[in-house]
Amino acid sequence: MIIGVLSQKGGVGKTTIAVNLAATFAKSGLRVLLVDADPQGSALQWSAARDAEPLFSVVGMAKATLHRELPDIAKDYQVVVIDGAPRVNELGRAAILASDVVLIPVQPSPYDIWAAAETVRLIQEAQQFKENLKGVFVINRKIANTAIGRDVTEALGQFEDIPVLPAALHQRVIYAESAGQGLSVLEVEPKGEAAREVASLAKLLMTKQEKRKAA
């Protein structure tokens, strides 16, 4: 399974989600590759900050040819997570075409909802060449018990073919604190709320992939 974490808007938490998803899959015993397809190289920086033994492989592939080069590399892994580039259409298209599922992080903000439309357009464009490609939204940095957290889910309903996953990620300091050490939330607080919500997200993505294969 290849999961592309993509948004045309920067600062939505792509790298945080990609890193923690990769760690969660790896901790479950799967062979995992994290592909840094963002020219900023945030996932590679996270890996460089790490003193502990690596949980998974990390490679930099910010290339417009990613969708052609990745299949040969991906065959050695059970799960590949792509940390995609924001605002770069050529790289964004390549990451989408390389993916089985595109995960679109959306914060509870009208700016994120507006930006989501462009990512959805790129997915729809890619589906002309890859009809089994799926897209899903995940609400990131949700603030519990606020109306805006509920409103964003309703607003995303306008994109009928892209469902909102029920596993939202909440605003938690541990995401930033763990990243600074090159660690995942699962390693810092394995029984914490952040680890549980990322595990729920990983399980949903795996279930979607199994359904896609069965279809």
- Mean pLDDT, rounded, of the chain: 91
Separation CA 207–CA 107 (nearest Å) = 24
pLDDT value at position 3?
Answer: 97
Using DSSP's 3-state secondary structure scheme, residue 136 falls into strand
Residue 155 confidence class, pLDDT cut points 50, 70, 90? confident
Partnered with residue 205 across adjacent β-strands are none
Q: At 60, which amino acid appears?
A: G
Q: At 149, which amino acid appears?
A: G
Statement: residue 213 has pLDDT above 70: no
What is the 3-state secondary structure of 172-209? CHHHHHHHHCCCCHHHHCCCCHHHHHHHHHHHHHHHHH
**In this structure, are residues 64 and 35 in contact, taking their beta carbons and an 8 Å threshold?**
no
83 or 143, higher pLDDT: 83
Residues 6 or more apart whose CB falls under 8 angstroms from that of 206 comprise 1
Statement: residue 209 has pLDDT above 70: no
Q: Structural domains in the chain?
A: 14-214 (3.40.50.300)
Statement: residue 168 has pLDDT above 70: yes
Separation CA 1–CA 80 (nearest Å) = 6
With both helix axes pointing from N to C terminus, report the angle between 147-155 and 110-127 in degrees, rounded to the nearest 10: 30
* Percent of the chain scoring above 70 in pLDDT: 93
Q: What is the mean pLDDT of residues 149-157?
A: 80
Q: What is the mean pLDDT of residues 182-210?
A: 92
Cα angle, residue 42 at apex, residues 41 and 46 outer, rounded to 5°: 120
